[in-house]
Amino acid sequence: MSALGHHLEEAGIATVAIALIRPQAERTRPPRALWVPFELGRPIGPPSHPAFQRSVILAALRLLTARKTTSLIADFPEDDPREQPDPDWRPPIRPARSHGPDAMEAELRALAPAYARSCTERGRSTVGLTGLAPAQSGAYLGACLRGEAPSSPVPGMSDVLALRFASDDLKAFALEAAIAGGKKPSSRQLGDWLWNQTALGAALDEARRWLMTHGGDRGKAVAPFFVPALRMPTG
């Protein structure tokens, strides 16, 4: 996007980008950019919050009046208002006592009632990239972690891509189960729960590490999608 911005500027069209990763913006040096301290996927702030989103858009547009420099990166001064934790939220299941494929699949079964309730309450679900039921996606991930190397359960979809999409479906399944009952935990609360307290989070990280080592070029290409960069273990 930074290169495109420079190309448009050379044609006389002023541009401004919204950056979610500041180091990336600093490296690529767009003509103008507004850095926002929001999670990936929310460049103008939380959903269903039009007043806040408008303030982000206006802050970005105001950069168009700034004195032209080689590269201008401004910081948006406010945090996502939905990032405040909900002290009344409780996870739908107890923290995992063990990890591994069996524990992960048992956990998915325990989450199923909360997920069904969440779908009924909201009338929708983001689960469905593979077309498989969550239990089927879990069984495929579990088989891969056991070293069984099963073929893709999705016709016309490669093994690696099916595993990646199954992981996305399972993340959505767990997070949607966690908001059943109209609860509104912050995204940080949800992330801390999924990645630090569930067997699913541990299984997804194990799949990521396996693909990075044994998945070949295609596996290495999709492995980073299994666990958000900010949740990667260090050291």
The CA–CA distances, whole Å, from 171 to 123, 149, 198, 202, 204 equal 18, 21, 11, 12, 9
In terms of Cβ atoms closer than 10 Å to its own Cβ (0-12, 13-18, 19+), residue 1 is middle
- The model's pTM is 0.76
What pLDDT score does 98 carry? 92
What pLDDT score does 163 carry? 95
Per-residue pLDDT tens, the chain, 235 aa: give them: 667 877 778 788 888 999 988 888 888 888 889 999 887 778 998 877 899 999 999 999 999 887 766 678 899 998 887 777 888 899 999 999 999 999 999 999 999 999 999 999 999 999 999 999 999 999 999 999 999 878 999 999 999 999 999 999 999 999 999 999 987 888 888 989 999 999 999 999 999 999 999 888 999 999 998 988 656 554 4
What pLDDT score does 234 carry? 46
What pLDDT score does 120 carry? 96
The CA–CA distances, whole Å, from 67 to 62, 118, 123, 227 equal 11, 49, 48, 40
What pLDDT score does 235 carry? 42
Q: Is the dihedral of CA 65, 70, 71, 74 positive or negative?
A: negative
Task: List Cβ neighbours of 110 (8 Å cut-off, separation of 6 or more).
Answer: 93
Long-range contacts formed by 218-222: CB under 8 A, 24+ apart: 218/158, 218/160, 219/160, 222/160, 222/161, 222/163, 222/164
